[in-house]
Structure 1
Amino acid sequence: MRTFYFSIGIIFLLALQLWFGYLHLKYPFLGIYVNQTESSQWVVRSLEDEVKGLDVRIGDIIDKVNGNHPDQHMTITKWRAVEQVDTLEVIRDGQSIQVGLKEVKNSLKRDVLPILAEIICFSVALLLYIKVRNSRSAKILSILFLNVGVTFMSLAASARGDGIAKLMLGIALPCIAIAFLHFLIAFFKEKCGLHLKFRMVYVLYVLVAYQVIVWFSWIGQQNVNNKLYLVLSQL
């Protein structure tokens, strides 16, 4: 049964990696954040400094995204960000401008370093799971590294406005802290005979599951105004 769940987990992670990799290769990270005015126009409010070769300025009005009105683009209505774009038109000083995206270049820390960190974390998690099977604390530590790996794996796709990646970040980030606490409890019990009865750790895992349910309820909304949700969406 453990082999079955392990295989399902590997397949799930591979599917996520393929999807995130597809988004990574197909769309450059633009780093354009917008606000909607009272006249229902989407105006650029901030830009990521690390993005090079993008002819967009603060105050530009988003006119069309992929040939459609910006209200029809998911990353704009849900995350207040212009991402996953093939073609982009803005209005500047009353003139319509076609923004070139082929010249956009992302930084090394945005595209390459998370992949290297992901590989290291997944390798450590797999090594602990396979080589130290008889240690409960080692298994929990492998879960910790697994969550760190999922965090790095999701970063690029999340920055590009993918809802699945943002959901995985919302799960993995709190699980890192919870798994670390869980690891300390198991480690001291295993190595020092110190029994720390901290059942609250399981309650914390339940709270993460509850957070997933809340997250799905927010994603189902067409236009999200929840401030916490918008803060998390910037990850």
Structure 2
Amino acid sequence: MTRTMSLTMTLTRNPRLVNFVFLVFSATLTNAQFRCPDEKGFFADPQQCDLYYFCNEEGHAEERLCKDGLVFRDDNPKKDFCDLPANVPCGDRTLLQEPQSSKLCPRANGYFKHEDPDSCDKFVNCIDGVGSVMSCPPGLVYEDKMSSCVWAQDSTRLCDANKREILDDGFSCPEGDVAGPQGRILPHPTYPHPEDCAKFYICRNGVVPQKGQCENQTVYNEESFRCTDPELVQGCEDYYKQRN
């Protein structure tokens, strides 16, 4: 059996190997065809968006490759810069290197959707193959095409960004703005606990509930939105006396 026949049979049995050989062949052909322009600088490969070349004064092309997940930004030949795909119009440069995927990360670098489709407000930040789950600011959802958090109406995803979180005791942040003592809208309004004078709730950005606790010998005052002396809060004057 000749080497050619042996290779043909191997490729026939392994379609993934066929794809790999094709990509290697395509890249080799592209490198051989690439010609540096007259100027020195960094220039994009015409077919592969994360592949580019450094051309020196003699017109010699040195092949370079962005980190997996990033692509070459070709708007300035004097800059050696790889960026997120959302920031770079690749156009006809549709080829990319083989993904170096890992847990949580489809590619080694970049921002990606959370694996739970219902977690619209969460995304994964991947750096060299290490993924960290992060959250959008309250009221926003992650948009994969833009690699950023956006308002729900600007997203292509069907997400309920206004879904109210509920604490284990049943509290959720009421809708609507809350005006403070000077009439200004409170960015993080607080609310009294229905049964405990020394406890209260904080609504971060008006939508994310969190439990609060006054310091010893003080109780929550819903008129001033702060913890004060028990004698200043009707119904809570004897709070600490009753607990002793």
**TM-score (norm: length of structure 2):** 0.23
Q: TM-score, normalised by structure 1?
A: 0.24
Larger Rg: 2
Structure having the higher strand fraction is 2
Higher relative contact order, structure no. (Cα contacts within 8 Å, ≥ 6 residues apart): 1
**More helix by proportion, 1 or 2?**
1
